[in-house]
Amino acid sequence: MSYAVTKSSPVLVAPAASTPTGTLPLSSIDCTAAVRILVDFISVFSHGEQAGVRIKEAFAKALVPYYPVAGRIAEPTPGVPVVDCTGEGIWYVEATANCSLEDVNYLERPLMMQKEDILPRPPSSVKFEDQILMAQITQFMCGGFAVGICSSHLVFDGQGIAQFLKAVGDMARGLPEPTVKPVWSRETIPNPPMVPHGGPPPSFTAFNFVTSVIEISPDIINRIKDKFTTETAKNCSTFDVITAMIFKSRVKAIKLANTSEVRLAFVANIRYLLHRVLPLSEGYYGNCIYLVGITKTSEEMNNSSLVDVITMVKDAKDDVSTKFVDWMNGGSDMHYNVPLDYGTLMISDWSRVGLNEVDYGWGYPKHIFPYNDDMNIVGSAIYLKPPIPKQGIRLMLRCVEEEHSTEFCHDLLKF
C-alpha cells in the first residue's frame, strides 16, 4: 500500500498581537559559517486529535514574546546577516495522512513516507533561505501526529529551538506566558578580531554517506564507564564513552593511510562561559556553541585503546573554555575551521538539548529525528534519545560510505 499525505497550502501565522519592528543584529557566534544552515527535524506524538488547530494558535501566541522569529533573515550589508522584524509570521502547514503511525513504523528509519510529505516548505515564490522557522502538523488516522520543523541555525542552536518550542507548548497547554522569558541580547556577545586568511576559498567534496541508526544500551555504556574508572581512577560521561566508541570504530573502518590525519569535532555548549556578558543566559536562544576537536593520525588512533580515546575526548572538553576565550580574543587558531574531508567526523548531541521535553498538551514526543540527509560534505553522528520507554543513546550515523558501513556498524556493536 502506498501511504499519502494531503497538505493544505502554506499559510502565514503572524504574532497574535502587535510586535516591535526594525532590525536586530545576530551575534558573532550566530554568523560563523558553521551555522548558516536550515535544520529539518520531526517529533512524533502518539496521540493528539486535531492537534493542528491548537498548535497553530499557540505559535501565534508564542510569536509575541519571540517576535524576531516572525521576521526574516536579511543582509543589508553583504556578509552581515541580520533579523528584519517584519512581523510576517511563520509558514505553517496542516496535513493529514491516510494511515496510522503504526502503518509507517512511527516514522522511524528507513522512512516509509517521503520526507517532503512531513516537512514544511514555503510557497515556491518565497526565498527559502530567508525563513527563520516553518512548521507542519501532520495528523494520522490513529489520532497521533507529527510536528515537522525547519529552523534557521543562524537564529537558534539546539537548546534555543527547544526553548522556543517549549514556549509554544506552554501556550498550547493554556499558560498565560512562556515559562522561560526569551532573551535576544545578541549584541552583548563580543566580536572577535578578524584573522586574515590567504589562499583560495575551500573546496568541498560531496560524499555518498549512508544512514545507519544504532542504539547503545545503558549496560554497554556503564560497563565501559566502569572499565575507564578501574584503569584511570577517574570518571567519564556517557558522551565521552559514545564519542570514543564512534571515533575509534570509524577510523578502523575507513582504513586511511597510517600517516593520514583523522579528526573528531564536536559541538560544546558554552552558555556557562557567557554568563558575564548575557544579562539572562537562561532565556537566551541564540547560538551558544563552539566547535572543538581532536586531530590524530590513523596509526595513532588504531594503536590507542578505547580508554585512551575516552581520555582524548575528556581532554578536548577540558580545553573548551581556554580555546573559546582565545578565539574571542582574536587568537590565530580559528577553531571553527575544520577540514571537510573523509577523515573528519562531526558529533552533535541532541539527546540533552530539550527537544524531547516539548509538550503541546498530549505529553512528550515518542521520539524525534533530524532529516538533513542532503548534507554530504562531512561525516556526522547525531546523538538522540531512543523512543520511549527505551533507555540509552540512539545514534543517527551519516559518516561512512557504503563500502565501509558494514564494518563500521559491526565494530561499533562489538564494544
**Is there a single domain that holds both residue 164 and residue 220?**
no
Whether pTM > 0.75 for this model: the answer is: yes
**Is there a single domain that holds both residue 30 and residue 124?**
yes
Find the CATH number of the domain harbouring 349: 3.30.559.10
Q: Locate 267 and state its grid cell.
A: 559541538
- DSSP category for residue 65: T
196 found inside a domain? no
- In sequence order, what are the residues at sequence separation of 6 or more whose Cβ sits closer than 8 angstroms to the Cβ of residue 51? 45, 137, 139, 145, 360, 361, 362
SS3 355: helix
339 found inside a domain? yes
Determine the Cα–Cα distance for residues 334 and 324; give it in Å rounded to an integer: 10
Determine the Cα–Cα distance for residues 312 and 402; give it in Å rounded to an integer: 28
**Is there a single domain that holds both residue 257 and residue 388?**
yes
195 found inside a domain? no
42-to-63, 106, 368, 393 alpha-carbon distances in Å: 20, 11, 6, 18
**Is there a single domain that holds both residue 172 and residue 49?**
yes
Domain count, the chain: 2
83-to-76, 78, 250, 347 alpha-carbon distances in Å: 10, 14, 39, 28
**Is there a single domain that holds both residue 342 and residue 408?**
yes
Please give the radius of gyration of the chain, using alpha carbons only, rounded to the nearest integer: 22
pLDDT string in tens for the chain (415-residue length): 678 999 999 999 999 999 999 999 999 889 875 567 899 999 999 999 889 999 999 999 999 999 999 999 999 998 899 999 999 999 999 999 999 999 999 999 889 999 999 999 999 999 999 999 999 999 999 999 999 999 999 999 999 999 999 999 999 999 999 999 999 999 988 887 654 444 455 567 789 999 999 999 999 999 999 999 999 999 999 999 999 999 999 999 999 999 999 999 998 888 888 877 787 668 999 999 888 889 999 999 999 999 999 999 999 999 888 888 777 776 655 555 678 899 999 999 999 999 999 999 999 999 999 998 777 889 999 999 999 889 999 999 999 999 999 999 999 999 8
Q: How many CB atoms lie within 10 A of CB 75?
A: 12
| Structural domain of 377 | 212-412
Q: Locate 13 and state its grid cell.
A: 501565522
Q: Active-site residue numbers?
A: 153, 359
Domain finish residue from 188, 223, 257: 188
